[in-house]
Structure 1
Amino acid sequence: MARAHGARAQMALAFETVYGTPPASGYRLMPFARTTLGAEQPLLNSELLGYGRDPLAPIKDAVTADGEVVVPIDVEAFGFWLKAAFGAPTTTGTTPKTHTFQSGNWTLPSMAIEVAMPEVPRFAMYAGCVMDQLSWQMNRSGLLTATARLIAQGEAIAAATAAGTPTALGLQRFGHFNGVVKRNGSALGNVVSAEITYANGLDRIETIRNDGKIEGADPGMAALTGRIEVRFADSALVTQAIDGTPCELEFAYSLGANASFTFTAHAVYLPVPRIEIPGPQGIQATFDWQAAKATSPARMCTAVLVNTVTGY
């Protein structure tokens, strides 16, 4: 009897033309570290009386399909998650290609994601997957990954794959060592760590259906928040926080001229932090920042991925 192992699991992804309808072809094999993507259907206890002390059979409740996927921030595959978060990019150039993703799109593409456990066999197809949140952290060391939080319409289990033979992408990962943080175009020194979270504020459309699925997930007000922790060496950030003026923060990774990822928050507002002295060690300050729509460019953020992929 075969037993499922994560080492043999695979994930295939394709964008849908019609929400909730997985395409017949065009799937890509996606690298991932772990996932909680799945569907659950709780049971409702019977409230009826008059049948003795033993309860009657429970009733099935509505289906909820969602979860997170932890993926590497890499040169090629990460572009599909950026497209899910921001919409289709504008692609320019010959070699390399520059894919520019912008915030503010009114519609977001939906995806069909198949999670395969071939030894059981179990092939779970999640249709109508829409990106609710994309987040990652910057540190000095460790593995660089991002967490994609998804809302799906439903789950379909089969004993054979519906994704065919997915096309594999070249895997070239960025690392924390390749990262840099800039403020208004200049490198920001003394940064210990940083967090970035982009949220689409999805609104589940929970209509009455006989299959228990949702009707869709519409984007609401977007939000871009994060945190930077810095060694307290000067008062530049504190002064900006007190003045209430915005700055531009750029989080970038580069593996050369043909492979880079740059995420820019165009208007970042900093809170006035509490400066604590915890002991004899170095003093650090933490800023829980928020981004807003800038005047120029007239959007909140821009993500630029440079690689040799023709398009997303």
Structure 2
Amino acid sequence: MARAQGARSQLAAAFETVYGTAPAGGFTRMPFAASTLSAEQPLLSSELLGYGRDPLAPVKDAITADGDLTIPIDAEAFGFWLKATFGSPVTTGASPGPYTHNFETGNWTLPSMAIETGMPEVPRFAMYSGVMVNQLSWTMQRSGLLTASAQLVAQGEAVASTSQAGTPTDYDLRRFGHFNGSIERDGVALGNVISAQITYANNLDRIETIRNDGMIDGADPTIAALTGQIEVRFADMVLMNQAIAGTPCELEFAYTLASGESLTFTAHAVYLPRPRVEISGPQGVQATFDWQAARDPITSRMATITLVNSIEEY
């Protein structure tokens, strides 16, 4: 008997036209490293008395469908997740490319997706409809594999023994690495950085109305949040002086491939807290800044994400 193996699992995704309704086609096979996307329905223990010490049968509670998806940060497929997180981009360029996709924060309308995870050897194919990105985060560091974590909220799950995604298309995998990364502050390279963490949250509000299927009615974006952390070797007072003054700066996190593809995440107004600076031994002194971004009055948004690749549209 065949047993499920992660190495044989697959994932396909497509944007929905109507929330909660998976499209009949147009799916794309997506690269991923791990997935906890699933549905669960707990049981409520009976509170009734009068039938002895043994409890009566439990009843089903509401369905919750959500989870995290670990995905590579690459030059093509990552644009799909950027659209799901920030909304449709403004794309410029002409055939045969390159094309520049500009994503902006602040959109009130975000697209929903249908995502199918498959285990062909069981067989089990789970179609999740009404999927939206609640949070997208990743870490910049000196070495290792560069991946992002997408926190997903779905309406529900439908399980079948055959795939409902048809024959999905593929993106070409052109993966960024930590070696391709750089950080700038107000247009100048920021030195002495050990690691940096970026988290963008849509803070989705689940619409938990009364339904006969136990699913949610939707998920509405509320006030967004862009936060992160910068860990630096304490070598100068540039960041500390900014934290003391309480003034914002622009932080740019970028990746560039030799073939020309690039990803640039620009937070336009970043505020730094005043951190503790501790001398814990003979090694170098480090400081950690837990930064927060806000709406920039000049650009009228919190952040701009620019992806340059050969994809004509998302």
Q: TM-score range by the shorter chain?
A: over 0.9
1:109-168 deviation digits (Å, cap 9, x = unpaired): 000000000100000000000110000000000000000001000000001111001101
Once residues 157 and 210 of structure 1 are traced to their aligned partners in structure 2, the CA distance between those partners, rounded to angstroms, is: 19
TM-score when normalising by structure 2: 0.99
Aligned to 2:125: 123
1:251-287 deviation digits (Å, cap 9, x = unpaired): 0000036310000000000000100001000001100
Once residues 248 and 259 of structure 2 are traced to their aligned partners in structure 1, the CA distance between those partners, rounded to angstroms, is: 30
Aligned partner letter, 1:198: Y
1:53-80 deviation digits (Å, cap 9, x = unpaired): 1111110000000000000000100000
Once residues 9 and 282 of structure 2 are traced to their aligned partners in structure 1, the CA distance between those partners, rounded to angstroms, is: 48
Aligned to 2:139: 137
Three-state SS of the structure 2 residue aligned to 1:250 is strand
Aligned partner letter, 2:132: V
| Aligned-residue CA RMSD (Å) | 0.6
Aligned to 1:34: 34
Instruction: Specify every segment of 5 or more residues in structure 1 that has no aligned partner in the other structure, as ranges.
Output: none
1:295 Cα deviation after fit: 1.5
Aligned partner letter, 1:231: R
Once residues 12 and 136 of structure 1 are traced to their aligned partners in structure 2, the CA distance between those partners, rounded to angstroms, is: 22
1:117-196 equivalences in 2 (<5 Å): 117-196=119-198
Three-state SS of the structure 2 residue aligned to 1:85 is helix
Contact map agreement 1:258 1:308 (CA 8 A) in 2: no
Once residues 195 and 73 of structure 1 are traced to their aligned partners in structure 2, the CA distance between those partners, rounded to angstroms, is: 14
1:22-79 deviation digits (Å, cap 9, x = unpaired): 0000000000000000000000000011111111111000000000000000010000
Aligned to 2:233: 231
- The alignment status of 1:68 with 2:68, answered yes or no, reads yes
Aligned to 1:109: 111
> What is the total number of aligned residue pairs between the two structures?
312
Once residues 187 and 171 of structure 2 are traced to their aligned partners in structure 1, the CA distance between those partners, rounded to angstroms, is: 32
Aligned to 2:285: 283
Spell out structure 1 runs of 4+ moving beyond 2 A.
none
Range that drifts further, 51-60 or 251-260: 251-260
Contact map agreement 1:225 1:288 (CA 8 A) in 2: yes
Aligned partner letter, 1:76: E
1:296 Cα deviation after fit: 1.6
Once residues 250 and 36 of structure 2 are traced to their aligned partners in structure 1, the CA distance between those partners, rounded to angstroms, is: 34
Instruction: Specify every segment of 5 or more residues in structure 2 that has no aligned partner in the other structure, as ranges.
Output: none
TM-score when normalising by structure 1: 0.99
Once residues 7 and 88 of structure 2 are traced to their aligned partners in structure 1, the CA distance between those partners, rounded to angstroms, is: 32
